[in-house]
Structure 1
Amino acid sequence: MFLTENNVVKSKILIVDDTLQNIFYLRSIIGELGQIFFAESGQDALAFIPKISPDLILLDIEMPEMDGWQVCKQLKQDRQFSDIPIIFITGHNQPEFEQKALEIGGVDFITKPFSPSVCKLRVDNQLKLRLQNRLIARGREQLQTLVKQVPVLITYWDESWNNIFTNDYLGAWFKQHETNDTRTNIVDIFPEPLSQAIQANVENNTTEQQFVVQTNENASTQFYQVFKSALMKNNDNTGYLVTLVNISEAKQAKQALYAEKERLRVTLNSIGDAVVATDTAGCVTFMNPIAERMTGWRFRDAQHQKIEKIMPLQDTDSKQSHKNPIYLALSEQRTVAMALNCQLVSINSKTYDVEDSAAPIRNENGELIGAIIVFHDVSETMAMSIKMSHLANHDQLTNLPNRILLQDRLNVACSSAKAKNEKACVLLLDIDHFKYLNDTLGHQYGDELICLMAKRLNALVPISCTLSRLGGDEFVILISEKVSADSIALLASRLLDSMHEQFELAGQMYNVSVSLGISIYPDDANDSEQLMRHADVAMYRAKQEGRNRYCFFAIELEQELMKRQQLESRLRHALKKHELVVLYQPKFKLSTQEIVGAEALVRLLDEKGQFISPADFIPLAEESGLIVELGKQVMLKACEHMKFLSAKGFDLPISVNVAAAQFSSAELEQDIKDALAFNMIPAKLLELEITETALMVDAQATQHKLEQLKLLGIDISIDDFGTGYSSLSYLKKFKVDIMKIDMSFVRDMLNNKHDFEIVKTIISLGHSMGLKLVAEGVETLEQQNALSTLGCEIGQGYLFSKPISAEQLLRLLEK
């Protein structure tokens, strides 16, 4: 093993001399060999030595009070400091002085004047001897620990390549442990390619050799830097010193760096932008193929040429030359962009509208070494910009102007109308019952209907108008020229009439109607935002009046809209807080007055605790999409009350109304299961009332769903029978249990012959289909008797009981 100065603490050298000039002179010679301390007398030296424990003392002989001989003798008598080497430096050159210096313990004797280099060498040698003695004293164990930490394999071999020494004590390099029993040959330690390479060229023993060897060990490629020196004695080879450094990581890093540079080169040559790099003087050092194509220069011709020659720039309009932004990037050392309306003129005079940016290039020390400019033909970017602008301003489904573009055109139309003292008009069109149709048929067919509607409307709207899709099923027509009430009413009528033609979806024909709201600027609104809001108010009124119509805005409509918004807010709050009230109207057996069931009826309370009419909030719930959650909460409460009544000894069937949207919901079956399971009540106590109209939207899907619901064990009732457009052939296939006669027929059955016949026919039809019959709205004894005579078994209405709470129902049952 070899030890260098880096392995030890810097040496401490004490100079003892009564002349400062001599001290400074010696320090200038040997200062780089260690830390220099000095004393100007023998007494000072002896007092100073315990504090610093010097590694070497340079001692003058002739000093007042205590000379060098005395100092040396005292130190040699002290066990703690007796091993400190002392070099005498004196002006005496007599042999007896040198002899005495060596006799009393000095290690060297330097006479003045002396050679500085020789003096330095002598001091250096003594320091090395001192160091070696210390290391030997530390012992072999510490030596081995130190050598093990060197990331180099150090080996010593005899002339036959048998190992004498290695610092690989743990066999970490080649799985061979050091042994003192036998001298293992190099071929048994090193991989074959390595041992062969090391043993080669042994005849040139005087030359130190350095080379790299590649090996494959356990499917892993390793690289070793080999340093080999022949050890000579009397011109005879006594062995070899071989050190190995595993440079595999460095090699792999170099290979990775090359691969990265290659990837960078391929990337720069493959990207769609042109790239040119220059040095700090603006001379070209790199061009990728796109840059070559756009400039017309080959890189081999352009290299070292000025950038302004290779890449001349000019203003698009004036054709005046532009300074290349590379120079700005170099001078200001920041990223800069090219001036607007900039053209590149190629070597063959072809011009390109370009956009670019230039940036400085710095080395690892942050020093500026050049700049790079990246540019591209802006025509492609402009085309993409136009496309992106179109996408941002048009509806992706219909390609009509979207809300953003409409708002811009609305603002322009209102500003222009104000400036010219003219008018602008907005027609807001909404497809009637679209949500129900979308939920029933699926969103794919809902989107198809939107596209068909857009195509039909586009064919009817004048080219000077803007037809826009706001989103969902809402369309807006903006009219900014020749606006008059008559022309607008005529257009609205034509739009409504065009809906008479059916739409084909999924191979079936569907009747679709629309509702239109109309608002005129400045008659109805002060700005574009108010114009749109008032059109929405008018459209809502059209829906309230029965749909499939148009309505002009009037001030009282806005007040109604505010009321509607307040009602919707109240409904949402009630649903969120589960504050809906469920009442029950008992069903009586007409012949015995026995309570045989009840219908759950939902009620909503206002802020004052007063009931809000279901005629107000139920249609709102359907339009706003809240009806599904409302129906779910009513079902849960009805099941809770059935459990309450059952606990009191009354297993009373209760019917729950299911809206069309809730019936078409995929979660209905699971909601029913959850409500029944949570309250632990039998399915036979639950009855679902579904309107005739809801059942007939998609007869095949309805039949399948009814079959699934029947498997749960619940009863199905057709509500409001006679008010829809049922096909008897379909009704016969539906798995229903009960048919309810709508109160509109019962109310006038004794005064209107047609109503009486309808009731009679419904009862007869129910009997023929084996269904139970329930009459709604029974309010007089005469109606009860007539219904009973016709064969209707069950009735409900104010004659028997108004809607009551679950607690009141319990008391009624207990009577």
Structure 2
Amino acid sequence: MLFSHHENSHNKVLVVDDEPTSLMIMAESLSDLGEIVCCDNGAQAIEKAVFFQPDVILLDIEMPGMNGFEVCKKLKNNPKTAQSHVIFVTSHNEQIFEYQSFASGGIDLIHKPVDLNICRLRVQNQLKLKHQEAQILAAKNDISTLVAQVPVYISYWSNTEENLFSNDETSHWFSKSSEQMLGCFAKDVLPDELYEAFHRCLTKGIEQEVLNIQLASPRNKIEYVRAQVNLRIKEREVVGVILTLSDITSITHTKKLLSNESERLRVMLNSIGDAVIATDNNAIINFMNPIAERLTGWHAEEAKGRHIEEVMKLVDATSNKTLVNPISVALKEQRIVAMALNSQLTGLDGRVYRVEDSAAPIRDIEGNIIGGIIVFHDVSESIAMAVKMSHLANHDLLTDLPNRVLLHDRVTHACKVATSMKKKVALMLIDIDHFKYLNDTLGHHQGDLIIKHVAKRLESLIDLNTTLARIGGDEFVILLPDVQSTSAIDAIASDIINTMNEPFRIDSQEYILSVSVGVSVNPADSTQAEEMMTHADAAMYRAKEQGRNRFCYYSDDLEYQFKQRQSVEKLLRHAIEQDKIEVFYQPKLALLTEKIIGVEALVRLRDDENKLISPLDFIPLAEETGLIHALGQSVLKQSCIAAKEWADKGHNIKVAVNIAAKQFTDGNFCNLVADTIEQAGLASELLELEVTESALMHDFEEIKIMLSKLSDLGLTIAIDDFGTGYSSLSYLKLFPVDVLKIDQSFVRDMLTDTQSMDIVRTITSLAHTLNLQIVAEGIEEKQHLNSLIDLGCELGQGYYFHKPMPKEEFDKLLG
């Protein structure tokens, strides 16, 4: 279709049958095809059809009161329901019933007892037909809308130059409307120059010609047009001519204005006192003004076509080391770049100049870099050195805010003044939530733009006595040197949170951000600048742990948690680097035979005293620090090697490996899995990847592509902790899922909680319906086992059978 239509494409099916059992069976069978509505009599069917307007109606013929034929006729006579496809359902096989079904408006007939598979196929076919009808109608409307509304004159003429069609209904282009134009000859209505081109193409057999024409008598401010003449040829004979016109008046005027502006710009650049050199996006020179000629010693015409490094030779004045030209850096990093301190330019004539400058990429209207420009001038060494060194030593290059060095001086000074004046000083550490993900996804240039916008928004919240500094990639600090009360701190922190929640608009794109803020107050919890920074950092991490998008004050237990976090992170990094990550295996059994058919791989980490650390303490930390990728790779590698060893000993044990949500953001994840399987020499069908429901919700299309690639490797995809997340049936249908794992919380409570029992029953039934394997987690009692077997659950794991164990212990279990 030409346009994007937003009609609701959700399938609607109405099932009408006076037998409750038949009604329930058919509704259950068709439930995944769309929204199903049921009723058990003719009058109610008509009422629901008018309100519901279903795509397909399954209609029983024999019903009390009003039979199916009467219902169908009433539906077909009602404009609101006439388009619904009616499929009759009957136990009669006589030909007269088939005749009456189609005569009354039915489109298909299904005989009882109903074959549910055939029924589903017939309903699906009718739904497809409905969708095709809608698409055809939409396409027809699109074409009509396009021809009527497109800002182009479209006309068709016979080979005798007689008008047969035009879309100018309002006489916008010519004095005649499309209706008045019919039957007119081109010579009588087209401007002379346009007609000459039209006639030339027709008489000389020129199949296509495009030309720009200035109209002698402009209409509706259309002075210039681009005309395209196309001959329509059939069996080597011209049967007609298509003539289209587009208004290029504004474009023509703009070109003239640009030409004038370009000339003014050339004169201005040649007149200013600074040297200017412009290049293309490969740093090849295409312009130099007279000052640049003087400083470099090159004539502009000689310099054109040469690389900037050849013409503008920069060295460090002290070491004489060659410097990279700022314009090269600006083009590479796509940002404004200042010349390195102590820069020295040597001209072609041997003259030496100390210069300062700035270089910037040149972008077109769409933001694409098309070149670069550098503006520089001769300056004295003392001024250049003093200004540059002082500023760069104390300010952030990207935002021009005070950096960590200058902030430390101001915090130290504020603390001294506060001590002598008995005042309070507050320090707020502000960290952008999930900025690393944004930076990796959007690119560093876009990340830099976001940082700049955040800096400007924070600056709008502070007064002249307050210091705003940038101390790291996405970390800012606000220093409040004179705090009257805690409520004042609360107000400022709240303003920061709320202001950051407002969308940022960058390059016509909106971004929603949040920040976590940690607050340290002197002298309440710290007395020195370094201590305030440490405490604010700890408070900020507490804010992140509590859900982000909030602020927290420092407290005594935060220091302990902060140290614990650092300790666990250090242990984790060391274990990964030294290949000391352990993997335990929990057997998975066939419930009827209690035979081991697989294992789940579970990661383990030990502290310095050889005690196991809870996965709840180090896995979230791994995800937050980015170590989850290396951790996951280690577990996958060990699991594949173990499964290969078992297979070589005659035990085809499938190993299930948990995959974290963040691992899916790695574009190379599929290749990593394939390489790991290949290096281990493992048959891919012996590997199962477990993903949580929440991991599937990040980017639907991207996850779908990744799961399909993984499935193509031959391994199995399992949904872990099913029922605790989104539980959307859509991904079970569209994603290549093989296994559902019932979360242990439902299994544990199923004996005492009817709701948990119902959830387990429903998930088991759903898995059977979708031909998925079902695995129950957390089996701890004999009653759990018996109930799951009764419900039809085939596989399970839990402490009733075995706890997770090291590989050596599992090897002994296999015998």
C-alpha displacement of 1:498: 4.1
Q: 1:629 to 1:764 in 2, by over 3 A?
A: same
Q: Which residue of 1 aligns with 2:699?
A: 698
- Tell me which amino acid in the other structure corresponds to 1:716: I
Instruction: Tell me the distance in 2 between the aligned counterparts of 1:679 and 1:653.
Output: 14
Q: Which residue of 1 aligns with 2:525?
A: 524
Task: Please tell me whether residue 435 in structure 1 is matched to residue 402 in structure 2.
Answer: no
Kept in 1, the 8 Å contact 2:429–2:478? The answer is yes
Deviates more, 1:563-572 or 1:440-449: 440-449
Q: 1:422 to 1:683 in 2, by over 3 A?
A: same
Count of aligned pairs = 450
- Secondary structure of 2:724's counterpart equals coil
Q: Which residue of 1 aligns with 2:420?
A: 419
Instruction: Tell me the distance in 1 between the aligned counterparts of 2:589 and 2:671.
Output: 31
C-alpha displacement of 1:756: 3.7
- Secondary structure of 2:402's counterpart equals coil
- Secondary structure of 2:430's counterpart equals strand
- Tell me which amino acid in the other structure corresponds to 1:614: P
- Tell me which amino acid in the other structure corresponds to 2:571: R
Q: Which residue of 2 aligns with 1:569?
A: 570
Task: Please tell me whether residue 541 in structure 1 is matched to residue 555 in structure 2.
Answer: no
C-alpha displacement of 1:514: 3.0
C-alpha displacement of 1:501: 4.4
Instruction: Tell me the distance in 1 between the aligned counterparts of 2:506 and 2:655.
Output: 38
Q: 1:479 to 1:575 in 2, by over 3 A?
A: same
Structure 2: 5+ residue stretches without partners: 1-272, 276-289, 295-341, 343-351, 356-376
Instruction: Tell me the distance in 1 between the aligned counterparts of 2:613 and 2:629.
Output: 19
Task: Please tell me whether residue 670 in structure 1 is matched to residue 671 in structure 2.
Answer: yes
Kept in 2, the 8 Å contact 1:426–1:532? The answer is yes
Instruction: Tell me the distance in 1 between the aligned counterparts of 2:733 and 2:509.
Output: 22
Kept in 1, the 8 Å contact 2:354–2:379? The answer is no
Bigger CA radius of gyration: 1
* Deviation by residue 1:466-520 (Cα, 9 ceiling, x = unmatched): 3333223322222112242222123223333445545678988776443221111
- Tell me which amino acid in the other structure corresponds to 2:763: I
Q: Which residue of 2 aligns with 1:553?
A: 554
Instruction: Tell me the distance in 1 between the aligned counterparts of 2:354 and 2:644.
Output: 77
Q: Which residue of 1 aligns with 2:809?
A: 808
C-alpha displacement of 1:527: 1.1
Q: Which residue of 2 aligns with 1:686?
A: 687
Instruction: Tell me the distance in 2 between the aligned counterparts of 1:734 and 1:586.
Output: 27
C-alpha displacement of 1:421: 2.2
Instruction: Tell me the distance in 2 between the aligned counterparts of 1:775 and 1:509.
Output: 43
Q: Which residue of 2 aligns with 1:581?
A: 582
Instruction: Tell me the distance in 1 between the aligned counterparts of 2:785 and 2:692.
Output: 24
Kept in 1, the 8 Å contact 2:433–2:514? The answer is yes
- Tell me which amino acid in the other structure corresponds to 2:685: K
Task: Please tell me whether residue 742 in structure 1 is matched to residue 737 in structure 2.
Answer: no
C-alpha displacement of 1:780: 2.4
Q: Which residue of 2 aligns with 1:603?
A: 604
* Deviation by residue 1:208-232 (Cα, 9 ceiling, x = unmatched): xxxxxxxxxxxxxxxxxxxxxxxxx
- Tell me which amino acid in the other structure corresponds to 2:701: Q
C-alpha displacement of 1:660: 2.3
Kept in 2, the 8 Å contact 1:439–1:665? The answer is no
Q: Which residue of 2 aligns with 1:477?
A: 478
Deviates more, 1:734-743 or 1:639-648: 734-743
- Secondary structure of 1:471's counterpart equals coil
Q: Which residue of 1 aligns with 2:362?
A: none
Instruction: Tell me the distance in 2 between the aligned counterparts of 1:559 and 1:481.
Output: 29
- Tell me which amino acid in the other structure corresponds to 2:690: E
Instruction: Tell me the distance in 1 between the aligned counterparts of 2:513 and 2:378.
Output: 50
* Deviation by residue 1:620-640 (Cα, 9 ceiling, x = unmatched): 222222111111111111111
Instruction: Tell me the distance in 2 between the aligned counterparts of 1:696 and 1:469.
Output: 34
Kept in 1, the 8 Å contact 2:483–2:489? The answer is no
* Deviation by residue 1:568-615 (Cα, 9 ceiling, x = unmatched): 222222112111111001112223322221111111112222111111
Q: Which residue of 1 aligns with 2:373?
A: none
Kept in 2, the 8 Å contact 1:706–1:735? The answer is yes
Instruction: Tell me the distance in 2 between the aligned counterparts of 1:464 and 1:630.
Output: 47
Q: Which residue of 1 aligns with 2:634?
A: 633
Q: Which residue of 1 aligns with 2:319?
A: none
- Tell me which amino acid in the other structure corresponds to 1:624: T
C-alpha displacement of 1:553: 0.9
Q: 1:271 to 1:424 in 2, by over 3 A?
A: closer
Instruction: Tell me the distance in 2 between the aligned counterparts of 1:810 and 1:582.
Output: 13
Q: Which residue of 1 aligns with 2:659?
A: 658
Task: Please tell me whether residue 714 in structure 1 is matched to residue 692 in structure 2.
Answer: no
Task: Please tell me whether residue 590 in structure 1 is matched to residue 591 in structure 2.
Answer: yes
Instruction: Tell me the distance in 2 between the aligned counterparts of 1:734 and 1:398.
Output: 44
TM-score (norm 1): 0.50
Q: 1:415 to 1:650 in 2, by over 3 A?
A: same
Instruction: Tell me the distance in 1 between the aligned counterparts of 2:354 and 2:571.
Output: 60
Kept in 2, the 8 Å contact 1:690–1:718? The answer is yes
Instruction: Tell me the distance in 2 between the aligned counterparts of 1:441 and 1:768.
Output: 41
Instruction: Tell me the distance in 2 between the aligned counterparts of 1:614 and 1:461.
Output: 42
Q: 1:683 to 1:374 in 2, by over 3 A?
A: closer
C-alpha displacement of 1:404: 3.0
Instruction: Tell me the distance in 2 between the aligned counterparts of 1:492 and 1:769.
Output: 51
Task: Please tell me whether residue 409 in structure 1 is matched to residue 410 in structure 2.
Answer: yes
- Secondary structure of 2:657's counterpart equals strand
Instruction: Tell me the distance in 2 between the aligned counterparts of 1:561 and 1:775.
Output: 37
Kept in 2, the 8 Å contact 1:401–1:467? The answer is yes
* Deviation by residue 1:69-92 (Cα, 9 ceiling, x = unmatched): xxxxxxxxxxxxxxxxxxxxxxxx
Q: 1:765 to 1:549 in 2, by over 3 A?
A: farther
Q: 1:677 to 1:478 in 2, by over 3 A?
A: same
Kept in 1, the 8 Å contact 2:354–2:380? The answer is no
Instruction: Tell me the distance in 2 between the aligned counterparts of 1:477 and 1:595.
Output: 59
Instruction: Tell me the distance in 1 between the aligned counterparts of 2:664 and 2:397.
Output: 31
- Tell me which amino acid in the other structure corresponds to 1:749: M
User: CA-atom RMSD, angstroms?
Assistant: 3.5
Q: 1:711 to 1:724 in 2, by over 3 A?
A: same
Kept in 2, the 8 Å contact 1:746–1:776? The answer is yes
C-alpha displacement of 1:447: 4.4
Instruction: Tell me the distance in 1 between the aligned counterparts of 2:776 and 2:689.
Output: 16
Kept in 1, the 8 Å contact 2:354–2:381? The answer is no
Kept in 2, the 8 Å contact 1:440–1:664? The answer is no
Q: 1:719 to 1:491 in 2, by over 3 A?
A: farther
C-alpha displacement of 1:419: 3.2
Instruction: Tell me the distance in 2 between the aligned counterparts of 1:509 and 1:733.
Output: 30
Q: 1:760 to 1:478 in 2, by over 3 A?
A: farther
- Tell me which amino acid in the other structure corresponds to 2:783: E
Q: 1:763 to 1:374 in 2, by over 3 A?
A: closer
- Tell me which amino acid in the other structure corresponds to 1:575: I
* Deviation by residue 1:158-206 (Cα, 9 ceiling, x = unmatched): xxxxxxxxxxxxxxxxxxxxxxxxxxxxxxxxxxxxxxxxxxxxxxxxx
Instruction: Tell me the distance in 2 between the aligned counterparts of 1:636 and 1:522.
Output: 52
TM-score (norm 2): 0.50
Instruction: Tell me the distance in 2 between the aligned counterparts of 1:613 and 1:671.
Output: 27
Structure 1: 5+ residue stretches without partners: 1-269, 273-288, 294-355, 357-371
Kept in 2, the 8 Å contact 1:436–1:661? The answer is no
Kept in 2, the 8 Å contact 1:403–1:470? The answer is yes
* Deviation by residue 1:64-116 (Cα, 9 ceiling, x = unmatched): xxxxxxxxxxxxxxxxxxxxxxxxxxxxxxxxxxxxxxxxxxxxxxxxxxxxx
Instruction: Tell me the distance in 1 between the aligned counterparts of 2:610 and 2:543.
Output: 31
Kept in 2, the 8 Å contact 1:515–1:548? The answer is yes
